[in-house]
Structures are given as structure tokens and as C-alpha cells.
Structure 1
């Protein structure tokens, strides 16, 4: 199987960040004042989230979809388009920490179809009302979209 994609056709998934074979990242303490919340399919956003966690001495929480995304790029694009036209994915958030402890929330997401990845959109839809009074910063990653617009 050829795992290399033509240049400008998105990141190759390492198969881990779809959480098919690996538990999601959960690093929650009692004293951190910053929480990094992120979604990563290919590992690019996760890499940036880990840097932020280390530099900011932050807690970290990886968002995961109840139904993991495929490792195949084209299959992920197809599913993402269907979700955008219908309903965003369900998230597994049983162990989401209480936001009261944190002064700053750092939200990380890849860019899908010129917007935040569907799981991050769902997080904001589902939990956005709980973020009032918090400082919020964001970071995004993009593995390429051809020549762009």
C-alpha cells in the first residue's frame, strides 16, 4: 500500500491520533492554570500541543470523536464533508476536566476545508457556553491545500 500522498494533499495519518490503537492524551493536574485542548488526526496538531503543554506547564486534553476518523486521507475528507453538511461528530468527553481551575484555555485544531476540524467545532458547540470569563487562545495547523485560494 502506498502511504505517500501527492504534495498538497494533506498530512499522512500515523494511525495513532485517530485513537484506533492508542489511548487519547490526558494530562490533568490539580495546580495547572492553563489547559491545552486539542484535536489531531495526523499528529501535527498533537506535536504543537505537546510543545505548548511543556512551555506553559499546562494540562492537556485530546479531543476524540466517538467514531474514530479513518487513517485514509480521502476517506476522512469524505466523512468530514458529510458531517459539515449534516451533523458534527459525537465526542467522548466523559473525563473532561472542570474548567474552573484554569485561567487560560489553549485550543488546537487542524484546518479542514478552510475551517476548524469538525471535532473542535463540536467541542465549541457543546461546551462554548462554559468558557465565559476565560482567556482563550488558539493555534491551528495545516498540512497543505495545494496552491490555496
Structure 2
């Protein structure tokens, strides 16, 4: 008998049921290299866009201006399985988790929308800082995130 994790489709790949956010991306010419395949660094951009949508880019800018709080990348890890090509429609699946009072981890899988094929698996961890020192993640973010056990 298969475990719950084994019964999930490939795109779950380490993610739990919720919260799971979906962000659509279309591959344009500017995203590709000379062979028509997405240049590897652009996957980081896709993940950043998805995280910005979840956290609210305008809201983050406001708290930076008003409270001098920022989120900076503490850790970034990416595993590349397959390449996206010009014209592909992709989906960035994101699951955020509070890993400490100061850090939020984002499990992010980039999928080809047409067949739900896993292309890139990323783990990005952000730390909340003020004046270059770690500070607790604001309550309005913490209250919406599961914690890491």
C-alpha cells in the first residue's frame, strides 16, 4: 500500500496539502538562451515573482519604508530536472513555512502547465531583517503560515 506522499502527483514533490499558491508564467524570447531553452537564472526570477505575489510586493515595500524591515535571501537551492522552452506556459507552485521566528522557507516547484511535468524544484529561505540584524517575521505574515515541526 502506498503512503499519502507516494499517492500525490509529481508536482507535490515534498509539499504538503496547504497552503499551496499557484503563479502562472509564460516563457518569452527574452527568457531563453540561443537554443530556445530558459536560461537557468531566470527560474530564480520566476520564483521571486511568485513569492512577491504571496507576500504582497506593495505591502512589503510599505513596511520597508515605514518600519525599515526587509526580507533577504538566507538560502537558495535549486534542482533542475528539465528545461522550459520558448512559448511554454508554466506554473510556480509555492508552499511557505515559518522555519523560525526570523525565517520563512518557500518550497517552490516550477511545472509545465500542459502536462504537470516537474521542471525545477527550489527551496528558498528568507530572513527578516532591520538594520542588517535578524528580527521576528511580522505577525500579519506569521499568522498565515504553518510552522516547521
TM over 0.5: no
Point out the structure with the larger strand share. Answer: 2
Hey, which of these two has a bigger chunk of helix by percent?
1
